[in-house]
Every structure is written in C-alpha cells, then in structure tokens.
Amino acid sequence: MEGMSEERHFREIDLPVYREELAPHLPAKIFDTHVHLLRRSDYLPGVDPDKLKTTAPAPLTRDFTYDHLDAAMRRLFPEQQWEALIFHNPTRDIDLAAGNRWIASVAREHSDVHPLMIVTPEMKAAEVEAQVRQGGFIGLKPYEGLGPKPVRGETRIADFLTADHMAVADALGLIVILHVPRKGRIGDPVNIRDVAELCARWRNARIILAHIGRSYGPWFIEQAIGTFKDLPNLHYDVAALDDAETIEVVLENVPHTRLHFASDLPVTLLRGRHMCVNRHCFFLTEEPCPNSITPPKGAAFPMTFMLYETVRALLRACRKRKLSKAAVEGVFHDNAVAVVQNIGRKLT
C-alpha cells in the first residue's frame, strides 16, 4: 500500500495470511507445476524487455532464476519443502534455444526442479525428441503467441501445438502444459472439441490445462467439464486462479488426482487477484499494471500476493468438497510426483 515499506507490508498483511489461513492446512511438501524462470540475457538483440506490452511487466522483465525462486518459496512458504516444474517465458522475443538450454542446465544442477521445453510450430518430431532427450525435459510448453497470427479470436490449438509435438509427447508420456486460446477460453465450443480430440488421439501424453483452461470464473469450465470428465489423461492446474467455485467444478467431476497446485510465478508475486464479472476477466492489483484495475489514489486496499489468493481458493475448495488429508496432500504434491516419476522411467 502507498506509504508502506515492502517489509512492513509483508510482516503486517501477508505473513498473517500465511500463518492464520494457509499454514495450518498446508501439507509439509508442495509441488508447483507452473513456474517461469526468466533471464534477461535471453531476450533477442534489440528487444528491450522493459518496453514490452505485458500484463505484469515488473515480474516478467527481471531475472527470476533458481535462486530467486528458492528465495520466494522460502519466504512465502517457510514451513514447506518445495519442488517445481520450470520453463522459460514462451515468447518470440526470447532466444528460445538458449532459454531451453538454460532451463535444462538449471534442472541438472538442482534436483527439486524439473524442466519443460518451449516448442514452436516449426519444430518437427525428430528435432523435438532429440532436444527432449538431450535436455532431460519431462514435458513441452507450447503457447499461442509462438504460432502464426490468424484472424483475431480464431486461433486453434493445432496452430501452435502440432501433431509432431504430440507424437513425441505421446511416445514418451510427456507432460504438455496447454494455455488455451480464444476469447471464450475453455468454454469456447471449438476449444472443447479440440481438447477432447487431442486427449483421445494422444492417450499416453499428460495434458495439463493451465489455469483450468483460463477459467478465472466457473462459467468457462462448466461448459466443458461434461465433455472432459471422462478423459483420464487431462489434468488441471490452478496457476494464478483464485476462484474456489471454479476449482470445485473440477473436484466435483474428476478424480482429485488430476488436479495440481500451481503458481505462475513470478507473476503471482503481484499483490491482488483475478476478478470475473459477467464472463469478463481482469486483474485487481495493488500497484498499477496494464489491463488491471487499481484502487483510487490515496485509498487503502490492503491486498496480499496473488499466489496466496490461489492457495486460499484451493484450500477452500478442498474443504468444501471434504477432501481427506491424503487427498489434499495429493493436490498440493503427490499427484505431480506420480506424473513426474512415470515420465522419468520412460526417458531412462
């Protein structure tokens, strides 16, 4: 808040949330399935990351290395051991080859992080498989912005996640973290059909819907869950998602073993939360950001980390669905471990 130092804000506003609401219910171990590590030196020559248009410029234009991640986890979750899936920033402004090599090297140095490779539509199956094996990648991270630029709103998943990518993912049982396109998010009938066909064709891949298909409100996933509930290789992460009702829709319809804790760090180091009003999604943030709503100047709206809001919502949904202690441990840790261990056996 205006006039309050970072350390005082953390001590007086953030830390009580952790101690009073989160820590008593969190398991001893957490596994974060959605973390971006960033390195400014990987931006292409001539690209000034400070001038890029992005939802969260400050977190995404600074270095966020393993050491930064470790420091953030130790500060935000001082009583928990942690692991994470890591990948770079999926944008054409990055030297993606260099970025992927760096991510692989970080995972070789630190056993508590597991690397995913950013893929582009131009990459053929042989190239993808060679790089996966060489880098020890356990999954792929495609992204809409890495594909061609079709007419606005008409992007299809196959435009940026190709059959070549999926052939390798299927053969090796890899994770694919999928950020769905289109204005309607996962509620778009085209996305529903495309995801269902993807899962049916490539049954050995583990497809994780990032942000529960960008469902920052329940309506979006409600349109899709009837089709998705019988797809055993479709999983869901809660990265940057802070709506308990949305998470409940998943828990009501699919086994809890297919739901995963995720952060979207470093973005969720911002203080604020997602809002969804009449199917329109936006940020409410303590500090001004592009495309966000902020309190009027001089107003005191004490907000906490978006990551804490995600954990709040996930714990609330687990309580409402009366998940057992073991099931909660699964959502926060064991479900991801089971997937990662299975992939490790296939790559050796």
Please provide the average confidence, as pLDDT, over all residues in the chain: 92
State whether the Cα torsion 264-266-268-272 is positive or negative.
negative
CA torsion sign for 244, 247, 253, 259 is negative
The CB density around residue 245, as the number of other CB atoms within 10 Å, is 17
Q: Where are the domains positioned within the chain?
A: 28-271+307-347
Q: Which residues contact 63 (CB under 8 A, 6 or more apart)?
A: 38, 39, 40
> Which tens digits make up the pLDDT trace of 31-44?
999 999 999 999 99
Asked if 140 contacts 174 with a C-beta cutoff of 8 angstroms, the reply is yes
What is the rounded CA–CA span in Å between residue 202 and residue 158?
Answer: 13
Write phi, then psi, for 245 (nearest 5 degrees): -65, -35
Residue 228, both tokens: 């998705």
Beta-bridge partners for 338: none
Q: Residues with Cβ < 8 Å from 11, sequence gap 6 or more?
A: none
Residues 229-252: tens digit of each pLDDT: 999 999 999 999 999 999 999 999
Please give the CATH number for the structural domain made up of 28-271+307-347. 3.20.20.140
Strand partners, 71: none
pLDDT in tens, 112-137: 999 999 999 999 999 999 999 999 99
CA distance 184 to 158: 17
